[in-house]
Amino acid sequence: MTSTLLYRFGALCGALYVVLAILANDVLANLGPDSTATNEEIGAWFRANPATTRDWAVAYVEVVAGLALLVFVVWLGWLLRRADGDRTWLPGVAVGAGLVSVALKIGSGPAMFAAMWRADDGLSDELAAVLVDMTGAAFVLTWALDALMLAAAGAVIVMTRCAPRWLGWSALAIAALSMVAVATPSAPFGFLLALLWFVVAGVTLAWRGAPESAATPRPATA
């Protein structure tokens, strides 16, 4: 596989993550109760909806989506680091925040797995509610991590022009909106805009190919 194909594959993994996440959560998934439901409603739902082959397929797609995001985060960090030339710590922040976000996204899955697996084995309503709340809280926390990643990436893009500057400015704006959304989790507008940015950035940069700043890093300055 040539370096150009690898570059484009890494970029497109951002869009692939979004497509797979939507497929798993909004198309295939049997949507269950959220944190606004009572303990009794949550426990009753799990007992009435035992895990099926479809549920395991959804879990598999979610894992693959998380791995696609992992590839995109590493690729984005490479692009930013090459352009930045080790002049700032911002590329490291972008990669660090992105990796923790991926870990939290994938790591929140076992809580729901446990609830579904033990629903007919004495799972109490209270414990089922706690597991649902853990998953919901992890989901909201990823908004803050994605915001930090976008803020760092946007700043590097604006300063180095390793990507179209409108991608950098939009990343900074979405990062600010995502942090506001953390305080109002019932309105996930920041999260949805972040998903849109992953798609647009991935497709745009894959189409453009590797920029000169990514192919030849600028020398660091004192």
> What are 145-169's pLDDT values in tens digits?
999 999 999 999 999 999 999 999 9
**203, 70 contact by CB (below 8 A):** no
* pLDDT attached to residue 158: 96
| Cα-Cα-Cα-Cα dihedral sign, residues 144, 91, 152, 20 | negative
* pLDDT attached to residue 87: 92
Q: How far apart are CA 155 and CA 168, in angstroms?
A: 6
pLDDT in tens, 89-111: 999 999 999 999 999 999 888 88
Q: How far apart are CA 83 and CA 79, in angstroms?
A: 6
Neighbours of 40 (CB within 10 A): 12
* pLDDT attached to residue 117: 76
* pLDDT attached to residue 99: 97
Domain boundaries, the chain: 3-214
In which residue ranges of the chain is pLDDT below 50?
A: 213-222
Name the residue type at position 180: V
* pLDDT attached to residue 49: 78
